[in-house]
Structure 1
């Protein structure tokens, strides 16, 4: 942890002397003459300590300490007091100040207080970060459902990439949840309070693309009666999600590349450059480099978009998640349609597992809604042609996963429910790639 210290005193000679002591001792020091200046810059989660004189013009040290508590109640404040201010400083300790130092003081006295305060701050921020990480993991697990190894790895990669500013390319088949993943990348990022703007590149006529992306001025073309803000400008500060990016016309690829490189755009019909700050998340089904080799996509744009890549597994490769997902979609549909949620039997789930699901999660959600409406049973007509033994293996994995999830990884409870000895259960879990730790409570 960095050793940051904010020091506030309205006497320049004291500020300079303290700064020299602290810098020689390895601290990073920021000096302020007035408390108002420091408060204007101070942010929650500041990784340091505030040291302030008590008697100052404007906001004094006691009022400063209360203002700092309002910003971050765990941020240590050390007050520097004259002899006559000791009773006042003791009262400040009772109100939450970390420590006070009586003038005149030695460098050693200040350094000792700072080191203790910084260690406390380090522990507080570490615990806070751990709690935030745990909450994020729990939240993303409720949005990206599934406990198959592919989905567990996807969630891990997502939480690693989300806080970073890099552009991300999402690869996945139609219906595999690319927009949901893009939305999670935005919602778990520092840009979460700014716009998330989604644009399907395949749904826009080519002659409208430039206006849609870059906006236009009044009179820029026939029918442009007023000024229009484009998606790139509207997403500034936030995230722009470009779905089916492979459909972006080559002419617009050149202009998008320039925006990414220069962080500037021009509306159609204008010569004025507008600064933009955005993160681009693109989604595609085909390999963009193969598209580039075929002359349908710019290779230099591929490298700008694909700083990091997320691969979304098709549903047929994560079949163990199908029962959980189908129940979830049934519950959502039942609540939306105000109908009872159907009860499914083991043979119903076996039929679900036997299907290829070419439409992936989107097709599964549609099947669940039709099931709630009573328009179809959960046994799709097309089958993968898997052997009976293969289907039985899939069903066994589903039963094990459901029991582990229901009992939160309690092996004894799973053994009792499935009537299995410990060794047999261990062998089956190992064969199906199931780990008890994946089912423990968050």
Structure 2
């Protein structure tokens, strides 16, 4: 890694103060803590630096000549609504600073302050607030994934893998819990593929009655059955040249699975009531929250169809495994929801955001969206409070996982813990778990855990 690469990976902070000596002191402290720092001696200068520097945090004095810290904050909020701002204030202006936090400023520092106090609050601001994971990247190269909001390392690894397989025509299976954004990932795959100019079509296999599923996917001829008063083109034919996303494939009836398998093998479909087949060129992406290998053993899912669909498997992590994305997602849903109301809700209090980050999220991203929407609906302040978030978490659907989901989560967490403790040594981990190696490997495969990821470099 080159020196310039290291510099680019640092989190960037812009400090603003009309006192050159304080600017210099702050710069020394923050540079020593491995932050990349730029300074400005006025709010006007700071606004000029913001666009090119793209900081993750702004620290500004409250009292400055010309435009003061609060006026600067208002300008920043208009242009960069998710960028956190810390206000520095003298002891006599603490009431003004407290009022500033009510208006959306992240926090304030009372001068003089200790170095550790500064570093603690800076770390909190950067940890709790949304950051741009592509600050210095070529934005155009990320257009295929622009709807996926993330700065998580585990998600970045998945997206890199996704981009590699998107260029091929392999059938893909997305395995994840409900509410994690499987369709968004499927759309991203389509956008990164050579098929992006052709249709992307999605269908939830669990939401279509069994008697209508064949007609929905393959189409039907006029008069094929009662109520078929006109010719209907199915989703396979409508998606010709493009991508067909089959969500909740694990809920597809066994009686239809053999027909789907035949269509995938022969690359043609026969509409209901027709005597001739239609050639189709469609890439299949399927998704499920179920354990399909278990379903195969229970004879509720065909093994031959499983291997036809699962040429490459992508495992989308639950929200609890990508907690660094929660501030980003919460702010995104806040912006969406605020656009549908006249309320001026600008953000979350620090304690409210901490509560969001630490919540269990059995309902994943869908549950987070529900909590944010409810909090905005009931908020009477510019910042969403901890009490509103706590109330919404209690009332949100899917707050409590099923027994099976809870057991799976425990198993996954336990296996990860023993692998981490043994640095990925399967023999030692199996001994701790009091399981033989074969059984332990089966558990690892069940939960998609790779021992190599836990080995010390």
TM-score relative to the length of structure 1? 0.54
Give the number of aligned pairs: 253
Give the superposition deviation at 1:262. Answer: 0.7
Q: CA separation in 2, counterparts of 1:373 and 1:180?
A: 26
1:334-365 per-residue CA deviation (whole Å, 9 max, x = no partner) reads 12334323331221111112211111001111
Q: CA separation in 2, counterparts of 1:137 and 1:252?
A: 40
* Structure 1 counterpart of 2:13: none
Q: CA separation in 1, counterparts of 2:198 and 2:258?
A: 26
2:381 equivalent to 1:377: no
1:203-246 per-residue CA deviation (whole Å, 9 max, x = no partner) reads 11111111111111111112211111111111111111111001
* Structure 2 counterpart of 1:204: 208
Q: Is the 8 A contact 1:342 1:371 kept in 2?
A: no
Give the superposition deviation at 1:139. Answer: 2.6
2:176 equivalent to 1:172: yes
Q: CA separation in 1, counterparts of 2:144 and 2:232?
A: 35
* Structure 2 counterpart of 1:65: none
Q: Is the 8 A contact 2:219 2:232 kept in 1?
A: yes
Of the three residues 239, 263, 277, the one matched with 2:281 is 277
Of the three residues 330, 333, 336, the one matched with 1:329 is 333
Alignment partner of 1:377: what SS?
Answer: helix
* Structure 1 counterpart of 2:297: 293
Larger Rg computed on CA atoms? 1
* Structure 1 counterpart of 2:124: none
Q: CA separation in 2, counterparts of 1:184 and 1:199?
A: 16
Give the superposition deviation at 1:134. Answer: 4.2
Q: CA separation in 2, counterparts of 1:174 and 1:135?
A: 30
* Structure 2 counterpart of 1:341: 345
- Residues 213 and 378 (structure 1 numbering): CA distance in 2 closer, same or farther, change over 3 Å? same
Large movers: runs of 4+ above 4 Å:
133-137
Give the superposition deviation at 1:316. Answer: 0.9
1:264-308 per-residue CA deviation (whole Å, 9 max, x = no partner) reads 111111111110000011010012122111100000000110111
- Residues 140 and 227 (structure 1 numbering): CA distance in 2 closer, same or farther, change over 3 Å? closer
Structure 1 vs Structure 2 CA RMSD? 2.1
Alignment partner of 1:269: what SS?
Answer: coil
Give the superposition deviation at 1:180. Answer: 0.5
Give the superposition deviation at 1:185. Answer: 0.8
Of the three residues 179, 185, 188, the one matched with 1:181 is 185
* Structure 2 counterpart of 1:255: 259
Identify unmatched segments of 5+ residues in structure 1. 1-132, 385-432, 434-442
* Structure 1 counterpart of 2:245: 241
Of the three residues 190, 196, 219, the one matched with 1:192 is 196
Instruction: Summarize the alignment of residues 121-200 of structure 1 with structure 2, pairs less than 5 Å apart.
Output: 134-135=138-139, 137-140=141-144, 142-200=146-204
Q: Is the 8 A contact 1:231 1:240 kept in 2?
A: yes
Give the superposition deviation at 1:135. Answer: 4.3
Q: Is the 8 A contact 2:292 2:301 kept in 1?
A: yes
Q: Is the 8 A contact 1:169 1:306 kept in 2?
A: yes
Of the three residues 316, 320, 330, the one matched with 1:316 is 320
* Structure 1 counterpart of 2:28: none
